[in-house]
């Protein structure tokens, strides 16, 4: 199971054999965890993921219509304690857009939530209570607590 000691989360559509040297270099020199998709529409040879020091999981690419697809279990990674996310620049991966949205939203909410005083309910503004409820709902939905958002 992943221990999430790395600060960089790499989510790629697939780990192709010809990108093995760059992924190996990243694995040996950077604190990054790797998540790869399992297939593309066109058959291509995958690399052996076990060679990477910090390979965490293979995600299932679910094709919805035409070339658009969703990487199952990838969105929940934005709620893990990673500092940076490296994604493919492929516009057909719809889950990447959702990850970008959540990462930006959590980056915005993080300072707001830390400002509130957790011990004095009188100073907590009603809007902050709503923000807390939304974040807690997201945490329950995606299963893991986000250590980047402090209450």
- pLDDT tens for residues 20-35? 999 999 998 888 999 9
Tokens of 150: 């402090």
Residue 148: partners with Cβ closer than 8 Å, 6 or more residues away: 81, 106, 110
Tokens of 137: 């709902």
Cα gap 12→88, rounded to integer Å: 6
More confident residue, 43 or 144: 43
- pLDDT tens for residues 75-95? 999 888 888 889 987 889 999
Cα gap 52→81, rounded to integer Å: 21
Share of the chain above pLDDT 90, in %: 37
> Are the beta carbons of 132 and 151 closer than 8 angstroms?
yes
Task: Kindly state the DSSP code that residue 55 receives in the 8-state scheme.
Answer: E
Of 108, 113, 144, 150, the closest CA to residue 130 belongs to 113
Q: Where are the alpha helices (DSSP H) in 3-119?
A: 20-29, 94-115
Cα gap 53→7, rounded to integer Å: 14
Q: pTM for the whole thing? A: 0.69
Cα gap 63→56, rounded to integer Å: 22
């Amino acid at each position: 199971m992943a221990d999430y000691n790395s600060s960089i989360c790499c989510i790629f559509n697939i780990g192709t054999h010809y990108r093995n040297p760059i992924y190996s270099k990243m694995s040996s020199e950077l604190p990054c965890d790797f998540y790869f998709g399992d297939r593309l529409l066109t058959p291509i040879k995958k690399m052996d993921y076990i060679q990477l020091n910090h390979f965490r999981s293979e995600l299932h690419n679910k094709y919805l219509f035409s070339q658009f697809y969703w990487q199952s279990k990838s969105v929940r990674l934005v709620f893990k304690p990673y500092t940076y996310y490296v994604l493919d620049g492929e516009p057909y991966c719809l889950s990447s857009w959702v990850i970008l949205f959540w990462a930006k939203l959590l980056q915005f909410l993080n300072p707001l939530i830390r400002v509130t005083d957790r011990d004095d309910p009188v100073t907590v503004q009603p809007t902050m209570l709503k923000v807390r409820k939304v974040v807690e709902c997201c945490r329950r939905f995606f299963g893991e607590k986000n250590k980047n958002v402090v209450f």
